[in-house]
Amino acid sequence: MKPRYDVIIVGAGPAGTTCARYAAARGASVLVLEKDRDVGMPVRCGEAVSNRSLESIVPIDPRWIAATIKRFRLISPSGHIVEPDLGGYGYVLERRIFDYDLARLAVEAGAEVHTKCYVDDLLRATPASHAEGKAIPATDPAPGTTADNAQDGAWKGVSYQWKGERRTVEGRIIVAADGVESRVGKWAGIDTTTHMRDMETCAQMTISNVDLEDDACEFYFGNDTAPMGYLWVFPKGHGMANVGVGISGMASKKTAAIRYLRRFIDQRFPDAAVLTTVAGGVPCATTVGTLVQRNVVLVGDAAHQVNPLSGGGITSGMIGGKLAGEAIAMAIEKNDLSLLNNYPKQWRKEIGAKHDTYYRMKAAVYKFPDATLDDIAINVLKLREDKRTIWGVFRTALRHQPALVWEMVKTFGLK
């Protein structure tokens, strides 16, 4: 490890390694520090992604794919099954292989990745030690940046623990890619708090000995199954599946997510063997208000770049990582840190504004009582089969929430 890099990225998840790959490929010197001994382990994820969004960021390696999903089944509280045509397909990944490979691709692009390095603080720079980059202007901040972008008070690196030793390393830009439990953003003074109602509490088991169609994902809704959330069954091939539940933090105060999950598995897959049980949180909120502050940049779950409606954060975090990586490389190349402000602008344009709308839709959908969800399913099933698209489902849902109409027309161009 060198004493100094252009960029230090904290966390080797998909967002961090994608940011590293894009920044390094354009000439920045990049260091990724990961606290765990294995990149991508333990896997706390249902591993489902859409083919289109993944393909837009990385060439897909077939080794990453456990199952290709052609059918998506939405199951209402009373058991009505709607199978909308999503106009695309999905993958259930093998994240153990996927996350490793994203790190490998970052290294091939020129980044250094070090594991077992637990970052425990930021190093404050004196004004002089940070003088080589231009100050980020204090006025007219881009959306997602603060006006408080003074030159002094920027950070000059991080301290980290490695095999019981405390070490430091310097970097001109620090990237917080440290996931849902991110602390780097907070250390830099950024408000990354997630309200309890928006923090999905998840529990998931990877099970074997199940008889499933390998090309169909199932999503169960209802107050008894997954209050303010949903339960998923994602096949992984060879009689295996990721079965998990995500419920709002408000709901989990009454009954823990794991209890809904156990009950479902006992009933639906009584002969299954449980190979892994994991729990974790997903910030199903809008993107944090400040993506860039001084020389600190937030990506992925640390920036709340998860799709708030679906809870999927793999590809959206990678897109955040890519946009941040490109802005970082440009800022380093031009020796102008104000160019970091392109990242929040691009994020908002490509995804952030849509996530705001998904967030409002989530808030409305989660208030639907079970009877409304059943009613929507029954009415969708009355549609001609070719009209049973995801928009057909939404249009039917709209009748129950007229306030959503305008939002959806704006976002999706529905007529």
Instruction: Please choose, out of 8-16, 73-81, 348-356, 393-401, the segment that lies near ligand FAD by the rule CB under 6 A.
Output: 8-16
Q: Which of 157, 229, 280, 392 binds ligand FAD (CB under 6 A)?
A: 280
- Bridge-based pairing of strands 155-162 and 165-176 is antiparallel
Q: 237: part of which helix (H) or strand (E)?
A: strand 226-237
- Of these, 28, 243, 314, 328, which contacts ligand FAD (CB under 6 A)? 314
Nearest distance from residue 132's CB to ligand FAD, in Å? 26
Distance, CA of 194 to chain centre: 14
In degrees and rounded to multiples of 5, residue 159 shows phi and psi of: -110, 150
Closer CB to ligand FAD, residue 293 or residue 310? 310
Structure tokens at 200: 């999905």
Instruction: Sketch the per residue contact string, 190 through 229, with ligand FAD: x for CB under 6 A, - otherwise.
Output: ------------x-x-------------------------
Q: Which is nearer to ligand FAD, 141 or 312 (CB)?
A: 312
Q: Would you say 293 and 148 are in contact if contact means Cβ atoms under 8 Å apart?
A: yes
- CB 133 to ligand FAD: min, Å: 24
Q: Is 28 in the site for ligand FAD (CB under 6 A)?
A: no
Using the minimum distance from each CB to ligand FAD, give the nearer residue, 14 or 133. Answer: 14
The number of beta carbons lying within 10 Å of the beta carbon of residue 172 is 25
Shortest separation between residue 327's beta carbon and ligand FAD, angstroms = 17
Nearest Cα to Cα of residue 7 among 149, 148, 173: 173
Q: Which of residues 241-270 bind ligand FAD (CB under 6 A)?
A: 244
β-pair type (71-75, 81-82): antiparallel
Q: Where are the beta strands (DSSP E) in 24-128?
A: 30-33, 48-50, 65-69, 71-75, 81-82, 90-93, 112-114, 117-124
Structure-token pair, residue 98 = 């996927």
Helix (H/G/I), strand (E/B), else coil: 217: strand
x/- track of binding to ligand FAD for residues 112-151 (CB under 6 A): ------xx--------------------------------
Q: CB under 6 A: which stretch of 311-319, 333-341, 374-382, 384-392 binds ligand FAD?
A: 311-319
Q: Does position 48 bind ligand FAD by CB under 6 A?
A: yes
User: What single string gives the DSSP state of each residue in 331-353?
Assistant: HHHTTBGGGGGHHHHHHIIIIIH
Report the residue from 16, 77, 84, 235 that binds ligand FAD according to the rule CB under 6 A. Answer: 16
DSSP structural state of residue 90: E
Binding span for ligand FAD by CB under 6 A among 59-67, 146-154, 297-305, 402-410: 297-305
**Which one among 6, 24, 29, 46 touches ligand FAD, defined by CB under 6 A?**
46
Residue whose pair of structure tokens reads 């199978």 in the numeric block? 83
Please tell me whether residue 36 binds ligand FAD under the rule CB under 6 A: yes
In this structure, how many other beta carbons lie within 10 angstroms of the beta carbon of residue 305?
A: 30
CB atoms within 10 A of CB 27: 12
Residues lying near ligand FAD in the complex (CB under 6 A): 10-16, 33-36, 44-49, 118-119, 177-179, 202, 204, 244, 278, 280, 282, 300-302, 306, 312-314, 317
